[in-house]
Structure 1
Amino acid sequence: MDSYATLLKREDACESGNEFDGRLGLRISSIFVIMVGSLFGALFPVFARRWSQSGGFPQWAFFVAKYFGSGVIIATAFIHLLAPAEEALTNECLTGPITEYSWVEGIVLMTIVVLFFVELMVMRFSRFGQGHVHDEEGHAHTHLPDESTVSNDSTEPKNHILGEDHLGHTREHHDNSDDESPNYIHAVEDYAAQLTSIFILEFGIIFHSIFIGLTLAVSGEEFITLYIVLVFHQTFEGLGLGSRLATIPWPKSKRNTPYFLGLAFGVSTPIAIAIGLGVRNSYPPTGRTTLIVNGVFDSISAGILIYTALVELMAHEFMFSHSMRKAPISHVLIAFFLLCAGAALMAVLGKWA
């Protein structure tokens, strides 16, 4: 029995409890404050896009939210996910195979390759890109059905918002809504590719949000600082996700999907905080199992966001977007500045969370 206890103690060498120090009322308040900030960040771009098309909201606000949010996602991948994953999986108290290889980089690499394969198969089997009409520069055009088949949230405004094309495709609306028409098929293909991308992004962000919620719930003397930082962190991260949700041409049958996805993000951290408070007497944020699970999922999430940031948000939005390539250089530079501003702000927040 003594030898078993000794072995168990060795296995749980990282186990150190947590630094929970009371202030339960303030911690409970964080559930609602962070929920409000997260929901605002995730849903504001969706509403802004809808209102801008009806003339009730300035289109520049959506433009700012989109590119600022893209910068937030880029910084989140490297500063808020990759660095903590490295710290968790290289903790000096860990022993065994986990210490014998650079698992963070390996997991990120595997995640990126898997995501590329998934998107490749989606594009292949949805016949994405076939039968497109090409302009004189060889750019493909995605044809969407008219307003009878696409929700008002995704119809093209008269004043085109720069960079809203996905995968370098510009959108043209036709009056043929036949389910068998080429226009309808192309719209479905574009929708399938974008939907795959957004679900991948949401998966990565939500897992990250769950772990930071658990950490906040049982934090010690740094609770106040972490509380304040996470309010901004989740708001800006939601802005990055929401700007992606707002660009998808949701059909009328799926017009509520972006709101549900935004809601899922908005409640992920508050639910995690509530769970953390419920197990505050037993949850060890620096325990062996916690470190490994946190490190592995942060690595997966980092791979997801790195792939999304480099492929979707930078390459496609800036270099392969037909509208961005035709835009005045001043507009391109403004978009680039907004992206840098979002990345810089989240990088600064990374000092505390």
Structure 2
Amino acid sequence: MSSRALWPRAHDDHEPHEAGEEDCHAGPVALGRLPLRIGAIFILLVLTLVTALVPLMVSRKTRMNATARAAMFIFKYVGTGVIIATAWMHLLAPAIEQLGNECVGHVWPVIAGYPWALCIGLMTIMVMFLLEVVVSSMANDGDGDDGLGHAVTIAGSCDSNDVLALKKSVVDDEDEARIASPPRTAVEANNEKQHQQHHHQQQQGVRDGQTQGGFAGQLAATLMLEFGVVFHSVFIGLTLGTTADDKFNMLLVVLVFHQMLEGLGLGTRLAVTPWPKRKGWVPWVLALGFALSTPMGMAAAIGTKPPSQMATQTLINGIFDAISAGILMYTGLVELLAHELLFEPAMRRARLGRRLAAYGCVALGVFAMALLAKWA
């Protein structure tokens, strides 16, 4: 959203004025058509909540229903494209405009002459990566660092056929050694049995640690995605709540589609995250939190008058847009696009047609959100 749309000017455009500090103030916004604005709060709430919950409901039927699996495939990759395009077209581009605004540079000279939006987005990406490194490391603490751990880790990173071949080779070697060895005493047999049990426990511990580490990384990425989308949605609500009457209808229609697509993308992420059974309620609460964010921002804009200092509000909005852009950019390109199209075992074994279908869904999501950037 541009700063011009966020905080409308109060002076008459036909009156002469000089550029400078007086030009960077906005008076109270006159809000008309109040019933429509209040109705828009509930329209946004219902539609965004429905689109965020649909993937969660469909995901519960994927095991027995081929249609549900196909729908989740489409939702998953279209949602990835929506998140990526939102980062570039709906967050980073407005942040560059807002932090490069002449009024912001006039009131805050330190902002002028430097691409702060790009810098903040870049720093956010670095923080996101550091967070993932720390979370993954903490989740894997205590797994041990012996040769077995390395062997299981390497085997886990190989193709499943390679792992099966490795297991078969080990079994064959053990069989040959057992045939060639002389008869064992009862004590030796008992010691070998205990050793095998300990070996199995170590393997299970390493697998559990890897599962916990993967889930911790997914959970951190999902929560950061929720954070970025919710902050962006709050400012969308502020924008819509203070939009002039003659532009309100058009912007409402565009933002409804915008939020529905974002809800689809976020809801799909929540649906594919492997939540523990005791935490099965968490994705539903997060979906509700997203649905409430835009109506809350809009209600705040209607119920309170925007401050008269436009530069400060533009600066704040630009900073949060840049932060949200970095979060969604990292999540969309690294956690979603790269992991799910290049590194996910099932997709690596998939045929080219399935991989191209996934890419087509991503491109569709990117196109839809990029097109909406023409109006909002």
1:265 counterpart letter in structure 2: F
1:76 and 2:99 correspond? no
Q: How far, CA to CA, are the matches of 2:157 and 2:61 in structure 1?
A: 33
Unaligned runs of 5+ in 2: 1-19, 161-199
**Structure 1 residue matching 2:61: 3-state secondary structure:** helix
Contact in 1 for aligned 2:222/2:269 (Cα 8 Å): yes
SS in 2 for 1:310: helix
Aligned match of 1:146: none
What is the CA-CA distance between 1:182 and the residue it aligns to? 4.5
- Distance (Å, rounded) in 1 between the aligned partners of 2:127 and 2:292: 28
- C-alpha distance in structure 2 between counterparts of 1:340 and 1:56, whole Å: 23
Cα contact 1:238–1:265 (8 A) shared by 2: yes
Structure 1 residue 329: Cα displacement: 0.9
Among all aligned residue pairs of Structure 1 and Structure 2, give the percentage whose two residues are the same amino acid.
44
How far did residue 53 of structure 1 move?
2.5
For the pair 1:317 / 2:340, whether they are aligned, the reply is yes
What's the offset of the Cα at 1:133? Answer: 5.3
What is the correspondence of 1:200-349 to structure 2 with a 5 Å cutoff? 200-220=224-244, 221-279=246-304, 281-283=305-307, 287-349=310-372
Q: 1:183 to 1:138 in 2, by over 3 A?
A: closer
Distance in 2, matches of 1:329 and 1:183, equals 30
Q: Mapping of 1:49-128 within 5 angstroms?
A: 49-55=59-65, 58-94=68-104, 95=106, 96-127=109-140
Give the letter for the 1:230 counterpart: L
Alignment of 1:7-22 (within 5 A): 13-17=23-27, 20-22=30-32
SS at match of 1:51: coil
RMSD of aligned residue pairs (Cα, Å): 2.6
- TM-score, with normalisation over the residues of structure 1? 0.81
Aligned residue pairs, count: 307
- Match of 1:53, SS? coil
Amino acid in structure 2 at the alignment position of 1:347: A
- Structure 1 residue 309, shift from structure 2 partner: 1.3
Kindly indicate whether residue 201 of structure 2 is the aligned counterpart of residue 197 of structure 1.
no
What CA distance in whole angstroms lies between the structure 1 residues aligned with 2:66 and 2:280?
19
Shift of 1:183: 4.5
Task: Give distance in 1, aligned partners of 2:374 and 2:259.
Answer: 15
Report the AA paired with residue 228 of structure 2. G
Structure 1 unmatched ranges of 5 or more: 1-9, 141-175
Give the superposition deviation at 1:102: 1.1
Post-superposition offset of 1:34: 0.8
C-alpha separation in 2, matches of 1:209 and 1:118: 23
Which letter does structure 1 place at the counterpart of 2:226? E
Matches within 5 A, 1:130-209: 131=149, 132=152, 134-135=154-155, 138=158, 181-209=205-233
**Larger helix proportion of the pair:** 2
For 1:318 and 1:211, how far apart are their aligned partners in 2? 32
In structure 2, C-alpha distance between the alignment counterparts of 1:55 and 1:233, rounded to whole Å: 29
Distance 2:297 2:354 in 1: 40
What are the superposed Cα offsets for residues 251-289 of structure 1, whole Å, 9 maximum, x if unpaired? 11101111011111010001111111101x4456x8111
> Match of 1:147?
none
Greater mean deviation of Cα atoms: 313-322 or 335-344: 313-322
Task: Give 1:109's aligned amino acid.
Answer: L
Closer, same or farther: CA 186–135 of 1 in aligned 2, 3 Å: closer
1:350 aligns with 2:361: no
| 3-state DSSP of counterpart to 1:63 | helix
Aligned pair in 2 of structure 1 residues 18, 338: CA closer, same or farther (>3 Å)?
farther
> What amino acid maps onto 1:138 in structure 2?
C
Larger Rg: 2
